[in-house]
Amino acid sequence: MSESITVDVFNHLVGLAALELAPDQADYLRTQLNHQLKVIDELKAIPLDENVPINLHGVPYEKSSSALPREDIHKPFPDPRSILAQSPQVDDGYIIVPDIPHTTLK
């Protein structure tokens, strides 16, 4: 089977996905991705008229079945401390993270 997702392409995807993979995981995942791509390639053979629009959510959003946008009013969460408490590292109400790497934009 030809492999569209080569090792180089795969490694690029891993970076985009913010992952780091052990070699055995990488092998399994790349193999499965190529298997899946073979199925996905079936889509290419479907004759599609130029006028066929994209469909983002199945059921059409008509006025009768769509919620009106809610008013843009600030509603404070009743217990913000319970949200902060979920963070792995907090100090004095601030979430702590490791150093943020700086890059110089060209």
Partner 1 sequence: MELCDLSALELTQLLRQKKTSAVEILQAAVQRIGSVDGRSGALDAGALSEEDKQKVHAFITLTDDRALEHAQKIDQQLARGEDPGPLAGVPFSVKDIFCVSGTPSTAASRILANFKSPYTATAVARMEAAGALMVGKVNLDEFTHGSSNESSAFQPSPRNPWDTSRVPGGSSGGSAASVAAGEVPLSLGTDTAGSIRQPAAFCGVVGVKPTYGRVSRYGLIAFASSLDCPGPVARTVSDAAAMLQVISGADEHDATSAPTPAPDYLSTIENGVKGMRIGLSPDYFKITYPDPKTGELLIQPLPVEIEKSVREAAEKLAALGAEIVEDVPMPNTRFGIPAYFVISRVETASNLHRFDGVKYGLRTAAPTADLTRMYRQSRNEGFGLQPKLRILMGMYVSAAQYSEEYYKRALRVRTLIRQDFEAVYDPNGKYRLDALLTPTTPTTAFAMEAIYGNSVLMQYADQLTVAANHAGVPGISLPGGLDESGLPIGIQLLGTDFCEDKLFRIGRAYEHATENEVWRQIKPQVLR
Rule CB under 8 A: which residues touch partner 1? 1, 5, 9-10, 13-14, 16-21, 25, 28-29, 32-33, 35-44, 46, 48, 52-59, 64-67, 69-70, 77, 79, 82-83, 85-89, 95, 97-101
Nearer to partner 1, 79 or 106 (CB): 79
Q: Annotate 34-90 with DSSP letters as a single string.
A: HHHHHHHGGGGGS---TTPPP-SSSS---GGGSPPPPP------S-HHHHHTTSSSE
Amino acid at 81: R
Nearer to partner 1, 42 or 106 (CB): 42
Nearer to partner 1, 77 or 105 (CB): 77
Min dist CB 83 to partner 1, Å, is 5
Cβ–Cβ under 8 Å, residues 93 and 84: yes
Min dist CB 31 to partner 1, Å, is 10
- Phi, psi of 94, rounded to the nearest 5 degrees: -110, 140
